[in-house]
Amino acid sequence: MEYQSIKQRFGIIGNSTLLHRAIEVAVQVAPTDLTVLITGESGVGKEVFPKIIHQMSTRKHGNYIAVNCGAIPEGTIDSELFGHEKGSFTGAHEARKGYFEVADGGTIFLDEVAELPLSTQVRLLRVLESGEFMKVGSSKVIKTNVRMVAASNVNVPAAIEKGSFRQDLFYRLNTVPIFIPPLRNRKEDIHLLFRKFAADFAEKYRMPPVRLSPEAINILQNYYWPGNIRQLKNVTEQISIIEKNKDIGAPVLKQYLPGNEVPGLPVLYKKKEEQHISERELLYKVLFDMKKDMTELKKVVASLIKHGEHEATPEQTKALLVKDYSENILEEEPGYPEIKITHPQHDLDEFHPTEVVEESLSLQQKENELIKKALEKHHGKRKSAAKELGISERTLYRKIKEYNIK
């Protein structure tokens, strides 16, 4: 395929294989009426490809309308797309045609389609399936013959999982997908784009074009470019206007690249991870902590018995417990007050070692009890009991069989 004439016609710059593949798909699908979904990061130039599809189709003599769905308020989006009747809402002083009616016989480009509210997505799906829609405030069905091209810079499958985008609409829009690569995956095109932008700004502001040193070119090509072509164009314009010396070296270029200390790498954002702990995991943690505390308590009691040959007042005995417990559990702070026992001639009359009955800490037993309580609470309904316990029904069935719970 001859890419050069198409790139010159539509102002596309670059020789990347991924870019050529996107152009090839756009040219091949243009003569058909198939719906196209264009995906790619913000700033990669998605808006050029609907124009290629329209101009190289049989609809090129019809209207071409580009709509930024994210820029239209939710309350007026239906009116903008499908039109409204006079008096259908406050401020509707006269009837108005929507974009789908105006673009009849042509092409409509819906940019940022994932920003559409769910109610509008239902209307859009009807247009795709039957070519019919109704104006806001009207019950009359209007037919339209429109080629639809949509674009989004968000992960649409992820939006479907969140419930913010309809799955059936995605499949209707995604008949032919076109992916526009980010600038960091087109390294061979980055300096080419910079030179083109530098020449344009030199002509616009009537000044010599800026030039990069080999070291600066290397930094330019290995930068991550989170804003893609839009960011590269802004950086080129800033350098063209601000720098009096038009020969730009690496130190000067770095001043215009945010996060240039890690070229070629994405910016890492530290995000606090949410911890989702089930009730069963929380119970296990409590049980383990209790067992640890019991062990430490045994050590304290043993230490107290060891000091039993000395007589101490109740206050000294209490202080001794605190001291021994802190020695076993906490790090002892410097200068901790030491308690000296000064009455060796008597036994400890007020202290008698007490037999400690240790509560059963068997995890299996506790789990057995929890399962029984959950089943009793939900009157034997295993599905509800499993949900209460935070486990699957299959795991609950296995546990019931394992513990022989009736």
What integer best gives the mean pLDDT of the chain?
83
Question: What confidence category does residue 276 fall into, taking pLDDT thresholds of 50, 70 and 90?
Answer: very low
- Does the pLDDT at position 187 exceed 50? yes
Question: What is the CATH classification number for the domain harbouring 120?
Answer: 3.40.50.300
Question: What is the CATH classification number for the domain harbouring 391?
Answer: 1.10.10
Question: What is the CATH classification number for the domain harbouring 202?
Answer: 1.10.8.60
How would you label 363-385 residue by residue, b for 16+ Cβ within 10 Å and e otherwise? eeebbbebbeebbeeeeeeeeeb
Whether 37 and 164 map to the same domain: the answer is yes
If one counts the domains in the chain, the total is 4
Question: What confidence category does residue 91 fall into, taking pLDDT thresholds of 50, 70 and 90?
Answer: confident
Determine, yes or no, domain membership for 367: yes
Is residue 66 within 8 Å of 111, Cβ to Cβ? yes
Whether 96 and 205 map to the same domain: the answer is no
d(CA 320, CA 340): 9
Q: How far apart are the first and last CA of the chain?
A: 73
Whether 156 and 43 map to the same domain: the answer is yes
Determine, yes or no, domain membership for 271: no
Question: Which pLDDT belongs to residue 360?
Answer: 52
Determine, yes or no, domain membership for 268: no
Whether 36 and 131 map to the same domain: the answer is yes
Report the 10 Å Cβ neighbour count for 130: 11
DSSP single-letter state for residue 60? T
Is residue 258 within 8 Å of 226, Cβ to Cβ? no
Q: Which of 8-22, 119-133, 311-325, 386-400 has the lowest mean pLDDT?
A: 311-325
Whether 175 and 300 map to the same domain: the answer is no
Question: Which pLDDT belongs to residue 378?
Answer: 85
Question: Which pLDDT belongs to residue 41?
Answer: 96
For 198-247, write each residue's pLDDT tens digit.
999 999 999 999 999 999 999 999 999 999 999 999 999 999 999 999 99
DSSP single-letter state for residue 213? -
Angle CA 20–25–31, to nearest 5: 130
Is residue 109 within 8 Å of 75, Cβ to Cβ? no
Is residue 152 within 8 Å of 114, Cβ to Cβ? yes
What lies within 8 Å, CB to CB, of 123 at 6+ separation is 78, 81, 82, 133
d(CA 96, CA 85): 7
Whether 161 and 90 map to the same domain: the answer is yes
Q: Of 129, 162, 181, at which residue does a domain stop?
A: 181
Whether 172 and 195 map to the same domain: the answer is no
User: What share of the chain has pLDDT > 70, as a percent?
Assistant: 77
In the predicted model, what is the mean pLDDT of residues 6-17? 94
Whether 324 and 397 map to the same domain: the answer is no
Measured on CA atoms in the order 188, 193, 194, 199, is the torsion positive or negative? positive
Question: Which pLDDT belongs to residue 389?
Answer: 83
Residue 393's domain spans which residues?
A: 363-403
Question: Which pLDDT belongs to residue 329?
Answer: 43
- Does the pLDDT at position 119 exceed 60? yes
H or E, element range at 143:
strand 141-143
Determine, yes or no, domain membership for 114: yes
- Does the pLDDT at position 173 exceed 70? yes
Q: Of 222, 254, 286, at which residue does a domain stop?
A: 254
> Global pTM?
0.64
Is residue 146 within 8 Å of 127, Cβ to Cβ? yes
Residue 303 or residue 194, greater confidence: 194
Question: What confidence category does residue 9 fall into, taking pLDDT thresholds of 50, 70 and 90?
Answer: very high
Residue 8 or residue 269, greater confidence: 8
Determine, yes or no, domain membership for 92: yes
Is residue 82 within 8 Å of 123, Cβ to Cβ? yes
- Does the pLDDT at position 267 exceed 50? no
Determine, yes or no, domain membership for 19: yes
Determine, yes or no, domain membership for 8: yes
d(CA 172, CA 127): 11
DSSP single-letter state for residue 14? -
CA-wise closest residue to 192 among 236, 246, 127, 134: 236
Whether 236 and 97 map to the same domain: the answer is no
Whether 11 and 133 map to the same domain: the answer is yes
Question: What confidence category does residue 127 fall into, taking pLDDT thresholds of 50, 70 and 90?
Answer: very high
- Does the pLDDT at position 175 exceed 80? yes
Q: Of 181, 206, 229, at which residue does a domain stop?
A: 181
Whether 169 and 199 map to the same domain: the answer is no
Whether 175 and 188 map to the same domain: the answer is no
The values of phi and psi at residue 96, to 5°, are -140, 140
Determine, yes or no, domain membership for 273: no
